[in-house]
Amino acid sequence: MTNTQNKLQAVLFDVDGTLADTEQDGHRLAFNAAFKQFNLDWNWDIDLYGELLQVTGGKERIRYYIERYAPAELNKSDLPDWIVSLHKTKTNYFESLMEAGSIPLRPGVARLIHELRQEKIKLAIATTTTMENVTALLKSTLGEESIGWFDVIGAGDIVPMKKPAPDIYLWVLDQLKLTPQQCIAIEDSENGLKSALAANLPTLITVSGYTHSQDFNGAVAVLSDLGEPSQPFTQIRSITIVDKDWVDYRLLNNLINH
């Protein structure tokens, strides 16, 4: 493959845990608020939610919880619709948290996105979270116009199989009309890494609170976060020389050409 083909053309971002640490103090609180509104005595504490995060997708997570912890609810005749309604209520609570500015972007995210735009690198999102959640996060952290910065946004139920299946990444690559070798994925979880690797994407991991002890074998590098010039990342593992303290276009380009 020639260097021209091999040069970085696009960066594909996961959302939850990658752009922002949304899980513990965002989605978890929104789920609990929705349960209260539905008069359920469920409470997803920090440890339980860490277990539930092994299941990808909010509706899928609710169903898993019911099967494991509240099996009496399985007798509902309209269970699938009820789960959709509960999840929609949760999404509304999550959007309210976003609009209140309660959930900031992780270190380096805004800087890197602005730099990639200057370098004319395509930006994409590949996530199992809903489009409403993506929109709420981007608007509250980067401004109303930021939705338009992304060439492709793959979110929610746009593909049938969620991560760790590669479907969402394959869909985004198809929309971008690029090969995996021209791109890099940025993820925070083992399921996300498996999804990206199954789509043959070089993948950078920035660990989050719930994922730091997961298995990231196959990632091009594992870092604490994207870093800032004034707030260097911690390098956990890398298969190439990382000679900077923050992730920028040049470093990402080196990672796909290692």
- Residues marked as catalytic: 14, 16
DSSP 64-133: HHHHHH-GGGGG-TTHHHHHHHHHHHHHHHHHHHHHTT-SPBPTTHHHHHHHHHHTT-EEEEE-SS-HHH
Compute, in degrees rounded to 10, the torsion defined by CA atoms 159, 29, 21, 117: 60
The SS3 of residue 188 is coil
Quote the tokens at residue 231: 């707030």
Give CA angle at 13 (7, 16), nearest 5°. 165
Q: Which amino acid is at 64?
A: Y
Taking the C-alpha atoms of residue 228 and residue 190, their distance in angstroms, rounded to an integer, is: 24
Is residue 169 within 8 A of residue 128, CB to CB? The reply is no
Taking the C-alpha atoms of residue 220 and residue 239, their distance in angstroms, rounded to an integer, is: 6
